[in-house]
Amino acid sequence: MTCKDMTRREFLAGAAGAAALVLGGCGSSASGDSAASDSAASGSSASTGAVSEVSSDDPYATGTHHATIEVENYGAIEVALNANVAPITVANFCKLAGESFYDGLTFHRIIKDFMIQGGDPKGDGTGGSDQTIKGEFSQNGVTNPISHVRGTISMARSNAYDSASSQFFIMHKTTTSLDGQYAAFGNVTSGMEVVDAIAENTPVQDSNGTVAAADQPKITKIRVVD
């Protein structure tokens, strides 16, 4: 199996270490989200330190919420986030956006006809926020019917199921083999032409989609609308 095939079909890192992010790919030693295991008010898992529930008074615990991802020189990607399916993931994403965590970060890994990945404060696939969250997908015991079709937004993670932090990816093309393995939590409602432009026009350094720092599309702001 080629590195490209592994990236598309399995999307799992071959890297060592508890936090080897999915973007690691063939032969990588990238150590994915190195976030501390401090839990927020949402609650945490005793075994992993990952946030495992959302407070009932969290405004993003239920329902559909909307956010706008503004990308410098490209435009805006509007997404609808489904908290009825993935409340932990949606609450985490909206919390980070509300804290301006994503402002100024980038899309650091881009694979045309697959996905664009961003939200890493280090810009190299090894960073995250100060907490991790429970993976809301079927292989982790959570029912999640959102499929990884074109326009789906989902969370990147390490080989550990409860290791997602701040990094997310948006599907450029449908890849349903990811279903059940990653926490999809919404879909693009407007701005797929922005996703297309990023995926098709950004120069990459290898088949794993590594983007040089100078070429990484910049997220100017992620704004939660409701």
CATH of the domain at 77: 2.40.100.10
Q: Which value, in Å, is the radius of gyration of the alpha carbons in the chain?
A: 16
Q: Is residue 26 part of a domain?
A: no
Compute the distance between CA of residue 219 and CA of residue 141 in angstroms, rounded to an integer: 32
pLDDT value, residue 52: 93
Q: How many domains does the chain have?
A: 1
Q: Is residue 17 part of a domain?
A: no
Give me the domain span that covers residue 215: 66-224
Q: Is residue 214 part of a domain?
A: yes
Give 159-204 as a 3 state SS string.
CCCCCECCCEEEECCCCHHHCCCCCEEEEEEECHHHHHHHHHHCCC
What letter represents residue 215's amino acid?
Answer: D
pTM of the model: 0.83
- In sequence order, what are the beta bridge partners of 118? 107, 168
pLDDT value, residue 23: 35
DSSP state of 140: G
Spans of the chain below 50 pLDDT: 1-21, 23-47
pLDDT value, residue 49: 87
pLDDT value, residue 16: 26
pLDDT value, residue 48: 59
